[in-house]
């Protein structure tokens, strides 16, 4: 396989736009402008058929590669569709950009585990460290993600260009990708590990962007039915009907997904229902896409172990649905008294219902002028619920503010007489927006001008409900008739961004690009319901009436270069500045509205600064056909990056409490900067048509540059490693395909992670392995194909800590266990 220098005009069209499509580092030159319609919107990665050239076909057949051929649109659709036997795609597609960007395709996602959260599928990429309490990666409360030292709420996320927010639990400005689209309808998942495209609709992308695309409808009528069975009563169903082409350039599909799986350490069930529909109209000058998503799910949460006091524990299971056990446990049992912070709750769960819709229109005025516009709307109704003892430290004080002069027994009667109460954090989110951009090709230049506006109305409320033994609450129902409306925050956010970029094709092999983004975010936080005096910690703390704060950066520059210095090798470099706007969340959060005095809020409004970062990255890519015995192709990427992260914001506790349910007073503090240096190295070695080996090795050194004050005490963090971020991570995928049979052995090794900012405690390294194997049966009457696939996760039944809740104080942190070994069998039919 060789990489041919592409023409100036074609290279300009490919490389100019921040939204340019992520083709692989491939052997063939892209088509000239106007020949491939709107390719950079519906197909961010080009997949290669197993029946193409020998080298590309071999790589695709075994499922691993560093690049892919630029295929026609119908081939890309087909490869990311359901015809497993006919077409397969590579694991990794490396985008030809001045920044590092890599993609995992639909086929590989579903091979890792059918129904997987697309974010989890990216954990095989260099520089990506993802942890979760379940094998699909669906549990949002117990989820963590780090990319080049940045946490999940410091990254940007989009689905088909629609902003998904910053992925915080109880997300105030979006939703997770697995709620935005059914996993089986995701066509690709891409991550720009340093700096994303200027046109990305995000105000949190300090450390890169994650972009997800949904599949377009198939051109032929048909359907798909998948059924997964597995450990812990897993029962997942996916069904999809495609209309095929109808009318004049029209096609559509509708699909349904349902998942039900028992939590592996208690009796709760995770799952729900989801519906997707998509319509596409395409003609010579237009492409119109309409997408709809409805998702309703309940996710019982895993409770973490408070360390090191809980060092003798590995899991902290709930007692639901054993009500009598819970009542006896809370009535003064020795186990409850001795558990400390590791006492058992009765249950905890996240309930979510989302509606997401968008319409996207792309129009070609000419071969040199193109216009894209998109409107979207998202509605979310969510509730985080936990049922537990009213006697937990801090709660009697809270309740006494609302029910003064009550004895313990009287207070228990107020809440139903069981010794328990039900607490909720309730969310309402209504947001909508519009994005528009013009792409103009002029000589050796390709210019893009675009903008994004979003209006977001968000409400967050903390409420308490009774828990009666005769009428107990459960994890699956919404609560009604609160006893205490502790506090309610309303946030109204207007987001405006614009971007301008020009790419200059200096020679046939060398291109420069430069541009900037303007980001203006205005949030008005109000407090229709305030916490009563004495209900917070300390008793002098208040929920803040709030006001309006702006996060404004009118000039965030970006510069890049791309040089094809041989037919097979490519050098890239990128420099970019980004800003993260303030989170619109209240009490207990690292936001201006989370502080516990109006004076602190007003002081921050005058002098506070949003977090910013400068990212510098450079690297080399290669893709070469070789004739070295069994080795037939080698491809890979080596990248070095340096990041300067400034104005790091931290919610510093002004008091410590004994109960995380109550929380504590905080002040929002600028604790200085972070410096990151690192390298990512990944390669794919192809051994003939049947075997390939992909490997990714990452080194990251992220350190705090400053100490900070916690009250009058100095917290010595300068020179310490960023908590939660491993210095080393290693991933590999060994693949084979023989005819209709394929299999993979996957490894994910994560090094030691410090669990406190002062680095006095750490979680040990772990190694997770998984297996998948599948076979395609053909020739069955009335069925195009039957694919049978088996998966084993955590093959060696490794025990260790996955997600870590790191702390800014020494001596304590919270850790969540790695899910045990599980087995799954999936039957997938297409007709």
Instruction: Give the residue among 24, 38, 1 at the shortest CA–CA distance from 104.
Output: 24
DSSP β-bridge partners for residue 158 = 163, 211
- Domain spans of the chain, in order of start: 8-830
Angle subtended at Cα 36 by Cα 32 and Cα 38, rounded to the nearest 5 degrees: 120
Please give the CATH topology (third level) of the domain spanning 8-830.
Maltoporin; Chain A (2.40.170)
Angle subtended at Cα 493 by Cα 490 and Cα 499, rounded to the nearest 5 degrees: 165
Alpha carbons 39 and 75: distance in angstroms, whole number: 12
Could you tell me if residue 177 is left (phi over 0), alpha (psi between -120 and 50 degrees) or otherwise beta? alpha
Alpha carbons 480 and 464: distance in angstroms, whole number: 10
Q: Output the CA torsion sign for 755, 760, 761, 767.
A: positive
| pLDDT score recorded for residue 655 | 54
Alpha carbons 514 and 505: distance in angstroms, whole number: 12
- What phi and psi values does residue 29 have, to the nearest 5 degrees? -80, 145
150-151 sheet: strands from edge to edge: 128-131, 144-147, 150-151
* pLDDT tens column, 45-100: 333 333 322 222 323 333 333 333 333 333 333 433 333 333 344 667 777 788 89
Residues near 17 by beta carbon (within 8 Å), at least 6 away in sequence: 40, 197, 199, 437, 439, 446, 448, 501, 503
User: For residues 269 and 232, is the Cβ–Cβ distance under 8 A?
Assistant: no
| pLDDT score recorded for residue 666 | 72
Instruction: Give the residue among 675, 761, 751, 668 at the shortest CA–CA distance from 718.
Output: 675
DSSP β-bridge partners for residue 138 = none
3-state secondary structure of 336: helix
Evaluate if pTM is beyond 0.75: yes
3-state secondary structure of 278: strand
Angle subtended at Cα 553 by Cα 548 and Cα 556, rounded to the nearest 5 degrees: 155
Please identify which residue in the block is written with the tokens 């798909």. 224
Residues near 453 by beta carbon (within 8 Å), at least 6 away in sequence: 433, 434, 494, 495, 496
Alpha carbons 627 and 463: distance in angstroms, whole number: 68
What is the DSSP annotation of 106-121? HHHHHHH-TT--HHHH
Length reported for the chain: 831
User: For residues 516 and 558, is the Cβ–Cβ distance under 8 A?
Assistant: yes
| pLDDT score recorded for residue 661 | 58
- With a cut of 50, which residues of the chain have pLDDT below it? 1-89, 657-659
| pLDDT score recorded for residue 809 | 66
Alpha carbons 716 and 727: distance in angstroms, whole number: 20
Q: Output the CA torsion sign for 588, 593, 598, 600.
A: positive
Count the helices and strands in the chain (H runs, E runs).
12, 40
Measuring CA to CA, how many Å separate 431 from each of 296, 354, 375, 378, 812? Answer: 18, 12, 11, 5, 38
| pLDDT score recorded for residue 201 | 95
**Cis preceding-peptide flag for 538 (omega within 30 of 0):** yes
């Amino acid at each position: 396989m060789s990489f041919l220098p592409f023409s100036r005009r074609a290279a300009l069209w490919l490389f100019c736009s921040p939204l340019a499509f992520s083709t692989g580092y491939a052997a063939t030159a892209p088509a000239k402008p106007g020949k491939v319609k709107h390719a950079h919107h519906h197909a961010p990665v080009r997949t290669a058929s197993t029946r193409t050239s020998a080298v590309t076909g071999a790589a695709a057949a075994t499922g691993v590669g560093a690049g892919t051929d630029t295929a026609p649109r119908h081939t890309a659709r087909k490869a990311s569709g359901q015809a497993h036997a006919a077409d397969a795609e590579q694991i990794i597609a490396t985008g030809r950009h001045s920044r590092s960007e890599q993609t995992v395709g639909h086929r590989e996602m579903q091979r890792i585990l059918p129904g997987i959260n697309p974010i989890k599928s990216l954990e095989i990429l260099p520089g990506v460290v993802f942890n979760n309490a379940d094998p699909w990666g669906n549990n949002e409360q117990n989820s963590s993600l780090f990319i080049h030292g940045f946490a999940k709420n410091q990254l940007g996320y989009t689905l088909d260009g629609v902003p998904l927010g910053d992925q915080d639990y109880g997300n105030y400005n979006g939703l997770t990708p697995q709620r935005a689209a059914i996993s089986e309808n995701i066509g690709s998942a891409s991550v720009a590990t340093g700096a994303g495209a200027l046109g990305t609709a995000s105000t949190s992308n300090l450390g890169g962007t994650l972009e997800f695309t949904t599949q377009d409808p198939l051109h032929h009528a048909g359907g798909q039915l998948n059924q997964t069975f597995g450990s812990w009563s897993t029962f997942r169903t996916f069904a999809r009907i495609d209309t095929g082409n109808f009318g004049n350039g029209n096609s559509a599909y509708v699909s349904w997904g349902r998942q039900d799986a028992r939590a592996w350490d208690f009796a709760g069930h995770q799952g729900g229902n989801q519906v997707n529909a998509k319509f596409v109209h395409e003609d010579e000058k237009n492409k119109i896409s309409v997408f709809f998503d409805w998702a309703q799910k309940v996710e019982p949460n895993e409770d973490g172990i408070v360390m090191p006091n809980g060092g003798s524990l590995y899991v902290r299971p709930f007692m639901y649905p054993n009500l009598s056990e819970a009542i006896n446990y809370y009535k003064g049992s020795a186990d409850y008294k001795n558990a400390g912070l590791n006492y058992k709750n009765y249950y905890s769960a996240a309930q979510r219902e989302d509606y997401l819709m968008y319409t996207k229109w792309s129009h070609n005025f000419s071969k040199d002028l193109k216009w894209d516009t998109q409107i979207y709307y998202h509605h979310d109704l969510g509730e985080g619920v936990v049922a537990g003892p009213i006697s937990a430290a801090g709660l009697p004080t809270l309740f006494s503010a609302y029910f003064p002069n009550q004895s313990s027994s009287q207070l228990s009667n107020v809440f139903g007489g069981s010794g328990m109460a039900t607490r909720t954090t309730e969310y309402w989110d209504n947001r909508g927006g519009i994005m528009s951009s013009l792409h103009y090709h002029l000589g050796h230049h390709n210019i893009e001008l675009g903008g994004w506006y979003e209006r977001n109305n968000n409400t967050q409320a903390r409420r308490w409900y009774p828990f009666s033994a005769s009428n107990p609450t459960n994890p699956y129902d919404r609560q009604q008739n609160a006893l205490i409306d502790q506090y309610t925050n309303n946030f109204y956010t207007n987001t405006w961004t614009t971007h301008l970029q020009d790419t200059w094709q200096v020679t046939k092999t060398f291109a420069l690009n430069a541009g900037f983004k303007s980001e203006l975010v205005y949030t008005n936080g109000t407090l229709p319901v305030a916490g009563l005096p004495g209900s917070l910690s300390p008793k002098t703390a208040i929920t803040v009436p709030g006001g309006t704060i702006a996060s404004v950066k009118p000039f965030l520059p970006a510069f890049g270069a791309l040089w094809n210095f041989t037919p097979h090798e490519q050098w890239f470099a990128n420099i970019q500045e980004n800003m993260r706007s303030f989170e619109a969340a209240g009490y207990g959060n690292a936001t201006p509205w989370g502080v516990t005095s109006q004076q602190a809020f007003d002081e921050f409004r005058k002098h506070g600064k949003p977090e910013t970062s400068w990212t510098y990255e450079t690297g080399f890519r290669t893709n070469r056909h070789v004739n070295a015995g069994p080795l037939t192709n080698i491809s890979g990427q080596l990248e070095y990056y340096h990041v300067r992260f400034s104005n790091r914001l931290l919610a510093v506790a002004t008091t410590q409490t004994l109960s995380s349910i109550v929380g504590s007073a905080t002040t929002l503090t600028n604790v200085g900067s972070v410096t990151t240096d690192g390298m990512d190295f990944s390669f794919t070695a192809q051994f003939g048509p049947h075997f390939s080996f992909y490997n990714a090795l990452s080194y990251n050194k992220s350190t705090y540059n400053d100490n900070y004050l916690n009250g009058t005490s100095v917290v010595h963090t300068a020179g310490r490693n960023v908590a939660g971020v491993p210095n080393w991570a290693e991933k590999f995928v060994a693949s084979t395909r023989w005819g209709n049979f394929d299999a993979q052995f996957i490894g994910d090794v994560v090094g030691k992670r410090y669990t406190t900012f002062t680095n006095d405690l750490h979680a040990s390294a772990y190694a997770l392995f998984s297996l998948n194997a599948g076979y395609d049966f053909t020739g069955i009457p009335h069925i195009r194909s039957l694919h049978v696939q088996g998966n084993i996760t955590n093959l060696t039944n490794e025990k260790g800590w996955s997600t870590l809740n790191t702390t800014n104080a020494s001596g304590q942190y919270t850790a969540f266990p790695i899910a045990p070994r599980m087995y799954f069998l999936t039957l997938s039919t297409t007709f």
